[in-house]
């Protein structure tokens, strides 16, 4: 979404993704495109999402767990790599 959407849609989409029920639904196998919000360019998002694959998400998850020492469900804001 960072690569394909405007800031307003990105904020709304990330807010929707950060909800616990959304995370549970995704873990249960629901496709991420079901959570797109009105106004998002769904085709562009889906194409980029499918191109990136899960390797990027797994890499970010590993970074958060191993480097930042975040526990599942914890949130953090990183600014300028700090």
- In the DSSP assignment, the letter for residue 73 is T
Which pLDDT score, from 0 to 100, does residue 47 have? 86
Quickly list DSSP for 14-37.
HHHHTSHHHHHHHHTT--GGGGPP
Reduced to 3 states, what is the DSSP secondary structure of residue 64?
A: helix
What is the pLDDT confidence band of residue 21, given thresholds at 50, 70 and 90? very high
Q: What's the pLDDT tens digit per position in 24-64?
A: 998 898 988 899 999 888 888 888 888 776 676 777 888 88
What is the pLDDT confidence band of residue 79, given thresholds at 50, 70 and 90? confident
Q: What's the rounded mean pLDDT across residues 64-72?
A: 88
Q: What is the pTM (predicted TM-score) of this model?
A: 0.57
């Amino acid at each position: 979404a960072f690569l394909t959407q405007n800031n307003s849609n990105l904020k709304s989409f990330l807010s929707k993704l950060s909800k616990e029920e959304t995370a549970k639904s995704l873990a249960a196998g629901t496709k991420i495109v079901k959570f797109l919000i009105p106004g998002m360019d769904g085709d562009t998002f889906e194409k980029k999402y499918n191109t990136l694959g899960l390797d990027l998400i797994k890499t970010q998850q590993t970074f958060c767990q191993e480097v930042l020492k975040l526990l599942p469900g914890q949130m953090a804001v990183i600014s300028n790599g700090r």
